[in-house]
Structure 1
Amino acid sequence: MAEQENTTKVEEEIKDGAPEAEGEDLMSLESLDSVLAEEDPEFAQSLGEIGPDVEGAGEIYEEGLELEYTLAEEEKLWQTATGVRAKLLKAFPFLPRISYKIKMKRTVMRLSFRKFKEQARHRVVNAGPLTVAWLKSLMVGLKKNLGAGTAAFKSYSLVKKLMFVVLIVATGAAGFVLYRVGTKGLLPHSEDLFVRSLADWSSQKYQYDPKTETEPFYDSTRAAQNIFLMKRMVVNLRRSGEAGSNPMGAFEFYVEGAASDVVVEIKDREAEVEDLFLRTIEEMTFDQVSSAEGKQALCDRLRKEVNKVLTKGYVRRIFIKTAIVKP
């Protein structure tokens, strides 16, 4: 008990026939502390560092820990209850067991959270010493492993040592090759054999808007207009619903070539081109030639027919200068 003097009993071997009281010596705790301080100062100092227990400190709560609250007490609580709880117990006799399990789970979770909070606080408060201790243990482990590896390497034969060195060099070379392949490629890229863009070879580059800053090549006022005026042609047309007995038409055409050589060739072969125009117009009816759509179709047909016989280029467009038709 707390009020009685704390003593410790030092037992000795009791010789046969000796009374029990003679084989025991009683020593107080203060005397024991003084003896320990004289015999083993370090052990006495370590004992002195152990402080009194603090209520709630160092407790570990885990699931499955038996608590003082029992199922019988929970059942008694339900049996002595009145009102809604008594009616529920009468309808569902198993409710006390469920309630007991829920309370136990809640208590275990609360105590586990308290344990986690205390551990976290301890780690935060002692972050410096804990980190230093971890680094020291890590360095000790590394030093120990390095020493063991060095000793093992020294115990190898010369052939094994050379094989180990070759393995290290080969591993480094393989790592460099993989890095080279992943970044720049193992072999340098060969230069392109063909010029893909003149911008790579130009001394200066310009940017422009193709929708607003472009100019047609053939229709530009700064480009030569390769236009040739054909002689007037009078030709008979085919009869149609609105035509009379002998419909006729008189036409003058502008022929635009893609280059000056086209105009020269048409000039040299003017008779042949004129005959081609006449034969093509004769196949048109009066109703076709008298309408605007028919005149446009006639120009397109003449352009296609004359391009079939040219040898130095092609005709871009054909315009009608004069078109007079008679029913």
Structure 2
Amino acid sequence: MADNENTTKVESQKPEGTPEEESSEDLLSLESLDSILEKEDPDFAKSLEAIGPDDPSNPIVIEESDLEYKVEDEIKYWSRQEGWRKKLATVLPFVPKLTYYLRLQHMALRLTWRKTKEQTIHFIKNLGPNIKHWIAGVMAKIKGGIGAFAATFKEFSLIKKLGFLVLVLVTGVSAVVLYKIATNKLVPHKEELFLPSLEDWADKKEFFESNEVEPFYDSTRVAQNIFSTQRIFANIKKSSQSGPNPMAALEFYVEGTDADVVVEIKDREPEVKDLFLSIVEDVTYDQIATAEGKQMLCERLRKEINKILTKGKVRRIFFKTAVIKP
């Protein structure tokens, strides 16, 4: 029993016929390594002896909290300062907390900048391979899609294959026709459909200065299509400078663009008179007493009468007589 409880011994197996000197490896023990180091580099051997082995009874433990920079550390830092810094920390006790916060923000910004810089460099370095990989992936998908479509197309019957080809042909022709229609290339126009100006058809072009041009309507060689209205008596609105019951007696000249306008106004004279009367009664004494007010009244009369005319337009209206009672 005692023979069976012998300690385990590991023997190196060596092939038969191998000499004892050749089978033993040149293995160095720690003692022989120390002796070689003392011989080759005595200074390095002494530095290793000064380090010594680890003390199992007093292990070195580094806690995570020891690596953190806390507010207390910043307060201790300011307490060790001299001169104006110490006076500043004494007068303003919140300065260490403020500098601690700024220090943390500065460190966070530095870390963010370094991280962004490294990510940017990494992105630039790998931009080419990434694009190449993306293109390869897209081409692989296209190739796979074409292969799948080809396999499906092979399973179609002859009628379905012909129908698909006809559909593709019709779609392509329709796209070409729509493009030509949109770009006016299907039926090219050699000439414009509308004539925006007679300049292109004229034998010659003449340019005149503004002082050489004679007004058409104000020319003495053109018939003046002017109609004189009957006198209108109207009660106008009172104002700050009038009495309690102001009145106005007015006559107007009405100038039309052609003779038909004058004829129509003459035929509809009662209607035109009532229109003018209603407009005059809507103005105040202060308005009609001034030149600007009279001009404004004439412009308003012109716009309103043009709304009811059927032949031509009234060019302008001006006073013939104007008698105003405050």
Superposition TM-score tier, normalisation by shorter sequence: 0.3 to 0.5
Structure of greater Rg: 1
TM-score by length of 2: 0.40
